[in-house]
Structure 1
Amino acid sequence: MDKPGQGDIGSSGAGTGSGAVELVMTAVLLAVLGGGGALVNPIIGVVGGSIAILFYFSIVINQEYERAVVFRLGSFDRVLGPGLNLKIPFLEWVQVIDYRVKTVNVTPQKVLTADNVTTTVDAIVFYKVREDSEEIRKSVLEVEDYEKVTVNYGQTMLRAIIGERELDEILHNRDEIADNLRDRLDQATNDFGIHIRDVEIQDVSIPESLERAMASEAEAERDRRARVTHARGELQASARIRAAADVLGSGGYKLRTLETVDNVAKENSTIVTIPAEMMPGGGDDEGGSPVQGLVDKVTEDVDLSDLDIGEAADKLAGDSQDQEDTQN
């Protein structure tokens, strides 16, 4: 009889299956009953039926991805490969091991990081039983439930790794943490024939208040980078303008100023600011006013006598004359 344990024991993974059961029952009936349905020979029927039953319990059929560990009277005997295998009925039983890659979730772990931030981390582990016969033997004899042990190892090691790091490192180095966990876990499970193929960190949860603070910090950092980029562009532009001024001299500066004035005038402005040095006289004549020079230049060809301004014009002219006499 088969002994329960890990894997599928005495089931479709190790046995003949429903088709084999039907074959055995047919053989028993043919051995016991004659063509007319009458009992031919009870002894022959019993012997034939017993042989068929023994043959049924002697067959072990493994799939390509399965191996069967055989125990004889409670002691390990051998490992059976894929295909049709035989065992001694009632003295030997098998435990089938599936060595395909399996996945197991490491339950979320609430951990305090090195910088005293509470975070919740969970992971998923990809593992398999090693295919070597000795490793398969260890997966049965060295551990009661290798999947449960693998999960427990993953939980404790994940907590240890997260506790050694600060939050920023955890958020930015998930792959490194996953690789570290995989190496540690593979070394620990190697003693009972388990190989860790991969580990993935699924989620890192932090308090909501900290999420808002980190979002504000990220926004401030983006603004700082934008300002630095803008200042760097201004610096490069000023350096090129300075180089152009050295080549063109003062005329180049005035040309640049005129281009700026022209750009301002295109914006449909009613007021245009003109630098004093660009006005007639340039402010260099002794006692001269650039503004007065510009006014004189504009009004020198205008005959004010043609304008009927009456007493207001006379009064304005008199006030201007009095102001000049006072200054003299």
Structure 2
Amino acid sequence: MTSRNNGRNGAASAARAAAYEQAESALAHGSRTFRTVPDANTEVVGERASNAGVLLFSAVVFIVVLCVVLAGVQILAGGIGVGAVVGALVAAVLVTMAVHVAQQWEKVVVLRLGAFNRVSGPGLFWTLPVIEQNTMRVDTRVRVTTFGAEETLTADLVPLDVNAVLFWHVWDAKAACTEVGDFTRAVELASQTALRDAIGRAGVAEVAIRREQLDRELKRVLEEKVAPWGITILSVEVRDILLPKELQDVMSLEAQAEQRKKARIILMEAEQDICEMMEDLGDTYARNDAALRLRAMHLLYESVRETGGTIVVPSSFSEGFSDVLGDTKDITNKTPQS
């Protein structure tokens, strides 16, 4: 047992030494310690809505206005010149700039001479050409952003690779447009920073085991950070935690030892209960000889009931039944005399 424990302690020490060496190497290369790698594509591939209808509507408006203006010039002036074509093009462009369509999930931020004026959409809306501009079309649907942190050090100086997914959406298009330059990129970077800080405050065992607690902590931190941007964090879910191979082996040995400990404790508790029960039974049999005899007879019966065999016992065993056998001997001895 001592050699086995020494072997386990040696393996644990070697694994910890390897982990600390990796941590020191990570500290020596500071650019790699807290490096985060966001996914280039933050949308889940699947069925996606198309904006082709908006472009088609603008193209149709442009063509219709151009044709109507040219037809009106033809009817009124009796001919179409270069000036008429230029005027028709200008009119078509102005009308196209004035009438717009927003999809059901879109909010359009409209500025008037550079100042915020309103949020339009969804559906058909109008703007004043040149004076008003559609600054940003904001998608208010739920978005999915994947993010992670590579070789981030825990509180006990163990480098971890953690990947997570963030569900969020924009509820205030005005704040998302006017309070932050690129809110999508800002959410990604804020998520990565919050993940790194949460890992740095906890030990490796706490990070690996308490995922739900880590999810709640990340959600709380991100909500406080992105709320001024008009963004709501729906949930944060840690997908994968990669531990160093040496540390995985050590934690596996620790888990096995813990399970063996629990099994031995349960076995000892069972033996203790059995011992207490046997003590009570012994006291009962000591006070009542008849109960002890009945128990002995029951054991004999149970031993031959299934097999139907015969048990040969020493003659001294019958002394326990002397009260019964004595009467039988008397009867047997009297029978021949009669």
- TM-score w.r.t. length of structure 2: 0.65
Matched residue, 1:288:
none
1:160 to 176, 187, 197: 197
Matched residue, 2:95:
55
Matched residue, 1:6:
none
Same amino acid, percent of matched pairs: 27
Deviations 1:50-88 (A, max 9, x none): 444322210121122211111233332222132211111
Deviations 1:222-267 (A, max 9, x none): 222222222222222222222222222285668778888999999x
Q: What runs of 5+ residues in structure 2 fail to find an aligned partner?
A: 1-49, 321-338
Is 1:101 the counterpart of 2:142? The answer is: yes
Report if aligned partners of 1:15, 1:60 keep a CA contact under 8 Å in 2: no
Matched residue, 1:139:
176
Q: Shift of the alpha carbon at 1:187?
A: 0.5
Larger helix fraction of residues? 2
Tell which structure's C-alpha radius of gyration is larger. Answer: 1
Q: Shift of the alpha carbon at 1:47?
A: 5.4
Mark the CA change 1:265 to 1:118 in structure 2 (over 3 Å): closer, same or farther.
Answer: farther
Mark the CA change 1:260 to 1:104 in structure 2 (over 3 Å): closer, same or farther.
Answer: same
- Aligned length, in residue pairs: 262
AA in 1 matched with 2:204: L
Report if aligned partners of 2:61, 2:96 keep a CA contact under 8 Å in 1: no
Could you say which structure has the greater relative contact order, defined with CA pairs below 8 angstroms and 6 or more residues apart? 2
C-alpha distance in 1 between matches for 2:182 and 2:300: 85
Secondary structure at 1:241 match in 2: helix
Q: What runs of 5+ residues in structure 1 fail to find an aligned partner?
A: 1-11, 283-328
Report if aligned partners of 1:109, 1:159 keep a CA contact under 8 Å in 2: no
Mark the CA change 1:39 to 1:49 in structure 2 (over 3 Å): closer, same or farther.
Answer: farther
Mark the CA change 1:261 to 1:39 in structure 2 (over 3 Å): closer, same or farther.
Answer: farther
Root-mean-square deviation (CA, aligned residues, Å) is 3.7
Q: Shift of the alpha carbon at 1:174?
A: 0.9
Report if aligned partners of 1:67, 1:80 keep a CA contact under 8 Å in 2: yes
Report if aligned partners of 2:148, 2:161 keep a CA contact under 8 Å in 1: no
Matched residue, 2:219:
182
Secondary structure at 2:157 match in 1: coil
- TM-score w.r.t. length of structure 1: 0.67
- Structure 1 consecutive aligned stretches of length 4 or more whose deviation exceeds 3 Å: 12-16, 33-36, 38-53, 250-266, 278-282
Mark the CA change 1:114 to 1:41 in structure 2 (over 3 Å): closer, same or farther.
Answer: closer
Q: Shift of the alpha carbon at 1:182?
A: 0.8
C-alpha distance in 1 between matches for 2:249 and 2:299: 44
Matched residue, 2:242:
205
C-alpha distance in 1 between matches for 2:153 and 2:138: 39
Secondary structure at 1:114 match in 2: coil
Secondary structure at 1:203 match in 2: strand
Is 1:172 the counterpart of 2:209? The answer is: yes
